[in-house]
Amino acid sequence: MKRFLSNHAWAGKLCNGPKLFTPGPLNTSTQVKQAMLVDYGSRTDAIINAQKYIRRTLLETCNVSQETGYECVLMQGSGTMAVESVISSIVSGKMLILSNGAYGKRMATMAKLHNIPHDVLEFRETESICTDKVQEHLNNNTYNFVATVHHETTVGVLNPIDEISTILPQDTTFIVDSMSGLGAFPVDLDTSKIDYLVSSSNKNFEGVPGFAFVLANRDKLVEQGKTPKTLSLDLLSQWEGLEDNGQFRFTPPTHSLMAFKQALREFKLEGGSSKRLNRYNENAYQLRKGMESLGFESVNDSPIISTFLYPDDFDFDDFYEKLAEESMYIYPGKMTEADCFRIGTIGQIYEEDIYELLDKIKEIIN
């Protein structure tokens, strides 16, 4: 089987090196890596123009623009930092967190640390959020803000963010952590009621770590962002700086920005979210089919990351180390209900990489 990339002029084969079967950081194309080989000053036209391109393109990905009242705010650091930037900058009043995994719980930790009044409506880690239960809860409680995770990578569960947005009261602000959702699962901010959508450079857009971003309803950002609880994570000030002179308030991740500019070009050339999701789905299908033939039970059907229960007498540390010796890296599990491990199927990973992994796993368990 030929690698998909070998038939496309816009992307090259992976450099020799580790294969990351993880939900990010992940394997990137040769061209994305090459984009980081030049050093740029933070005030150069190359960096300022790259930021403009990134901000505009990300808004277009969600069917909105500055002209339609949305802004893209780039924020140094990990996706978690961008989520905390939103929560600490704009939440004033009571917040409801819809949680079915570790990342929903992380939002609750942020709210607690910033002394934000909040409730957590919890669901099982292996099940998506039930809108009927959310509606029932909202019938009996009032909130200014509601927050949830789009694709919860604790197990690999997709939550119905569009359905949730339709049942929220008119004046409720909706915050969505779409770290491992955006770039694969389509999001239309023009038709949804999502006010703040957060994602990261090193997930489905297949860039490298270094920054995350917030797609925000401009009117709400300007109104709600005036009393931040931190200096470096001040979302409104970060946006104002980008608008004023095109620059980050503090040192920008220049190499990551140039890599992401190239990653966005490749994202477009591959065909956007729908084509990328098709590739990820095929990766995940082949992985689960192969793992089940080897006796492993999967507990989800995510195209992003698959979760497998430990079989009897299973030593994960030994299993992990033997795969690592072959430069293949997987993830430990995050479920609280069962012992498990996870294998990601995103990034520059293709069917032949999945077959290679399965062959190695077969050798190990034999």
206 and 296 assigned to the same domain: no
CATH code for the domain of 344: 3.90.1150.10
251 and 341 assigned to the same domain: no
51 and 104 assigned to the same domain: yes
Mean pLDDT by 10 residues, the chain (366 residues): 39 66 95 97 94 98 97 97 98 97 97 98 97 98 98 97 96 97 96 96 98 98 97 98 94 97 98 97 98 96 97 96 97 93 97 98 94
Distance CA 42, CA 253 (A): 8
128 and 238 assigned to the same domain: yes
- The three-state secondary structure class of 309 is strand
216 and 300 assigned to the same domain: no
Note whether 309 and 365 are within 8 A (CB). no
Last residue of a domain, one of 246, 268, 290: 268
Please state the φ and ψ torsions of residue 274, each to the nearest 5 degrees.
-65, -45
197 and 288 assigned to the same domain: no
Give the pLDDT of residue 17: 83
15 and 55 assigned to the same domain: no
184 and 145 assigned to the same domain: yes
CATH code for the domain of 100: 3.40.640.10
223 and 298 assigned to the same domain: no
The number of residues making up the chain comes to: 366
Last residue of a domain, one of 268, 283, 299: 268
Give the pLDDT of residue 16: 62
In whole angstroms, how far apart are CA 214 and each of 41, 233, 248? 24, 12, 14
Concatenating the DSSP letter of every residue in 137-151 gives HHHH---SEEEEESE
Give the pLDDT of residue 5: 41
- The three-state secondary structure class of 56 is helix
> Is the Cα torsion angle 38, 40, 45, 48 positive or negative in sign?
positive
For 302, the domain range is 4-30+272-365
Last residue of a domain, one of 216, 237, 268: 268
153 and 62 assigned to the same domain: yes
151 and 165 assigned to the same domain: yes
156 and 282 assigned to the same domain: no
Q: CB 75: neighbour CB atoms within 10 A?
A: 26
Q: Integer distance in angstroms from the first to the last C-alpha of the chain?
A: 26
Query: Is residue 115 exposed (0-12), middle (13-18) or buried (19+ Cβ within 10 Å)?
Result: exposed
Distance CA 135, CA 156 (A): 24
Distance CA 345, CA 141 (A): 39
Strand order in the sheet with 70-76: 70-76, 211-217, 196-200, 173-177, 145-149, 95-99, 118-122
Number of domain units in the chain: 2
- Smallest CA-to-CA distance from 182 within 158, 165, 211 is with 158
For residue 234, the cross-strand partners are none
DSSP annotation of 299 reads -
In whole angstroms, how far apart are CA 14 and each of 183, 263, 349? 20, 14, 9
Give the pLDDT of residue 34: 98
